[in-house]
Structure 1
């Protein structure tokens, strides 16, 4: 008994699935781009400096944000279509008559799905992260006109915000969570023209009543002797939640940069669970895509024989949303430290894979 298909047949099945995947993904991305562009156009109507060309560019830059969410659905439905296409042309019957098991003709399709997962993880994801970061910068500049910027680097927390006299840049070497107590604080004050005014160094800082409150501060003003102040405040329009939301989201961070960024966040004192879950989810993506193909096979191989196309599509929708809901639910539990990170990221694809395999082994001659 041959365990592997002939190269020509494997290439045919792989090519059929890949073409179906690219076509379906193109249709879904076109629909997403249309709706995103309309929404951006609606938001841009309030601003005179936002042109139609800029709106179209922002729509393209935002595309990967939703595109990465719909990718598993594209994997699932392109597999459903491929099996339906092969059944309609009686090619599945021929493969069965030739003595081939379901796993033999599934192998090329599963292989393509897993390669798509690896390619997305290593190539597409870094490009998408760059585009999403560019979109969010343009959104903040043109559609939101934010007055503050927050970033976390190897040197700690950096924050820039406007003030009545100009602007400030705040730096903290450490952040104690969840109290949001900053330590090793340095603040640079600038005029509206960008001229340096003074520097403040403080042991600690906290947000109280819409103000940064600095304790045990030393103020160095231009042309004046250093002055020690027990307590100094700086009005701010930021809240703790807004600062946390201003950090780079997992989707903005490229796959290759995630490990170092996670270490930076942890060294600074911030919670890195969401980033670690995202990183593990990317690693698990090839397995998830393989599971989606196998789940598609569980509903399509039998239903295709009975020409139950509508039922097959409906079953695919249910499966897709069940996997999506389970994955989102477990990620939320992992982010809130209710379950381990590895369980949150790997449990959905592993369960989906074994569920699909058990159904095929039960219903087919695998």
Structure 2
């Protein structure tokens, strides 16, 4: 069984309306048109990325065209997923305009079939594909993008983990925070000339200095820092000296010295843990919370774009103005995309709550589509 047949069989199985032939036919037409739109969007992205990779990495003599194509397959999927809502918008527009041109919609409406009977199933299937995208495709694309970033960092000799120099870390919880600074990090992971500043946080989260510890060496073990030649200083108290000293830590030795991946590059399944770790360290996780809400709202966004595409292509051909109405749908789709980006920027800057920034645009787009459908169907 080839992959195309297997995919169609899978979609037919998860289709809740598989016993309704007419509804299944409409969903199939929409999926075929969405697939065609996806191919077009992907081809454009592949072409742009191929030129970019050829200029940035392909100048090296030991990179062949086949290797550049391999890098292209690592980088492009993550970008394609960002533009995937356009594939649903353009695909749905194309599918319903085609049905309209062949007078199939007229026959359905003449048979007494409501527009809701074929728009809502298409939107529902888009939501199912959105859930599949979030849980399967997005994590896979993130892994591929991470491999590309690692390769690009190695080629440009900019892998941050290979660099030596000053190290800054932070650990703590809602009651205490510790800022850690070291002059450098040795190859075996030891911090050289490390300093630990510990602060307590009152109810207003105002820090109050508690203690400073200076050590010639510091090694992070599970749950603890092992210090050598430590000097402990507290306000109003005599400085104490220790040959060895252990202090508690909630940092993971495997991840403490690795930079957090950007929110857009973080796996969906790893986002909750990353958010908890960042917040426990006293940092703001607004960007990651926003990313989590945007991913959770993806099924609604896909359903909204599908419903918008259908709403702008239901006008009967004999009435006229279908082309202008279709163009209006495309323009509205771009407006939805830019509004989503604007809300994302405001949410990342913590101007508006991350939940509102992630869900506002998909919800508004879905309500707009439903309003247009009510106006078109019920007058």
TM range (shorter): 0.7 to 0.9
Which consecutive segments of 4 or more residues in structure 1 shift more than 6 A?
A: 195-198
Equivalent in the alignment of 2:171: 174
Aligned partner of residue 248 in structure 1, secondary structure: coil
1:63-103 per-position Cα deviation (integer Å, ceiling 9, x unaligned): 12211111000010111011011111111001100111110
Change over 3 Å in CA distance of 1:7–1:172 after alignment to 2: same
1:162 corresponds, among 164, 174, 192, to 164
Question: 1:73-84 to 2 correspondence within 5 Å?
Answer: 73-84=86-97
Matched, 1:103 2:116: yes
Shift of 1:298: 2.4
Unaligned 5+ segments in structure 1 are: 150-159, 206-214, 231-244
Equivalent in the alignment of 2:238: none
1:117-170 per-position Cα deviation (integer Å, ceiling 9, x unaligned): 11101111111111111111112112x321523xxxxxxxxxx5236xxxx8x4
Question: 1:8-23 to 2 correspondence within 5 Å?
Answer: 8-23=21-36
Change over 3 Å in CA distance of 1:311–1:219 after alignment to 2: same
Question: 1:287-298 to 2 correspondence within 5 Å?
Answer: 287-298=300-311
Contact 1:280-1:342 within 8 A present in 2 as well: yes
Aligned partner of residue 247 in structure 1, secondary structure: coil
Change over 3 Å in CA distance of 1:303–1:319 after alignment to 2: farther
Shift of 1:6: 6.1
1:127 corresponds, among 140, 145, 170, to 140
Change over 3 Å in CA distance of 1:285–1:195 after alignment to 2: closer
Could you say what the CA RMSD is over the residues aligned between the two structures, in angstroms? 3.1
Unaligned 5+ segments in structure 2 are: 1-16, 199-211, 219-227, 234-257
- Distance in 2 between residues matched to 1:128 and 1:299, nearest whole Å: 32
Equivalent in the alignment of 1:340: 353
Equivalent in the alignment of 2:332: 319
Contact 1:199-1:219 within 8 A present in 2 as well: yes
Equivalent in the alignment of 1:218: 215
Equivalent in the alignment of 2:158: 146
Change over 3 Å in CA distance of 1:298–1:216 after alignment to 2: same
2:270 corresponds, among 243, 257, 264, to 257
Using the size of structure 2 for normalisation, the TM-score is 0.74
Shift of 1:349: 1.1
- Distance in 2 between residues matched to 1:259 and 1:34, nearest whole Å: 35
Shift of 1:48: 3.5
Change over 3 Å in CA distance of 1:359–1:316 after alignment to 2: closer
- Distance in 1 between residues matched to 2:93 and 2:268, nearest whole Å: 29
- Distance in 1 between residues matched to 2:95 and 2:189, nearest whole Å: 65
- Distance in 2 between residues matched to 1:131 and 1:198, nearest whole Å: 32
- Distance in 1 between residues matched to 2:265 and 2:276, nearest whole Å: 16
Shift of 1:28: 1.3
Shift of 1:41: 0.2
